[in-house]
Amino acid sequence: MAVVTMKNLLESGVHFGHQVKRWDPRMKKYIFAERNGIHIIDLQKTIQAIKDAYDAVQKIVGSGKSVLFVGTKKQAQTAIQKEAERCEQFYVNNRWLGGMLTNYTTIKRSIQRLKKIERMEVDGTFESLTKKEVASLQKEKIKLEKNLGGIKEMKDLPGAIFVVDTRKEAIAVAEAQRLGIPIVAIVDTNCNPEGITYAIPGNDDAIRSISLFTQIIANAVIEAGASEGLKIVESLPAEETEEVHTDAVKKEESEVEVDIDSYAATAPVAAPAVEEVEVEAEVSPIVDEDKLYEPK
Q: What are the residue ranges spanned by the domains of the chain?
A: 1-95+161-241, 102-156
pLDDT digits (tens, 9 = 90+) for 16-30: 999 999 999 999 999
> What is the Cα–Cα distance from 108 to 66, expressed in whole angstroms?
17
Residue 169 has φ and ψ, to the nearest 5°, of -100, 40
The answer to whether the 1-95+161-241 and 102-156 domains have the same CATH topology is: no
Query: In the prediction, which pLDDT does 48 show?
Result: 94
Contact 121, 136 (CB under 8 A): no
CA distances from 251 to 2, 239, 244 (A): 52, 19, 10
Query: In the prediction, which pLDDT does 290 show?
Result: 53
> What is the Cα–Cα distance from 126 to 239, expressed in whole angstroms?
50
Query: In the prediction, which pLDDT does 226 show?
Result: 77
Query: In the prediction, which pLDDT does 227 show?
Result: 65
Query: In the prediction, which pLDDT does 241 show?
Result: 41
Task: From first to last of the 296 residues of the chain, give the pLDDT tens digit.
Answer: 578 899 999 999 999 999 999 999 999 999 999 999 999 999 999 999 999 999 999 999 999 999 999 999 999 999 999 999 999 999 999 999 999 999 999 999 999 999 999 999 888 888 888 999 999 999 999 999 999 999 999 999 999 999 999 999 999 999 999 999 999 999 999 999 999 999 999 999 999 999 999 999 999 999 987 766 555 445 555 444 444 344 444 444 444 444 444 444 444 444 444 444 443 444 445 545 555 555 54
pLDDT digits (tens, 9 = 90+) for 102-161: 999 999 999 999 999 999 988 888 888 899 999 999 999 999 999 999 999 999 999 999
Question: Which CATH architecture fits 1-95+161-241?
Answer: 3-Layer(aba) Sandwich (3.40)
Q: Which value, to the nearest 10 degrees, does the dihedral of the CA atoms of residues 204, 207, 213, 216 take?
A: 170
Paired residues of 19 in beta bridges: 38
Closest CA to 28 of 262, 189, 176, 250: 189
Q: Which amino acid is at 48?
A: Q
CA distances from 93 to 19, 84, 111, 239, 247 (A): 26, 10, 16, 44, 53
Query: In the prediction, which pLDDT does 202 show?
Result: 94
Closest CA to 178 of 161, 191, 193, 154: 161
Which fold would CATH assign to domain 102-156? Helix Hairpins (1.10.287)
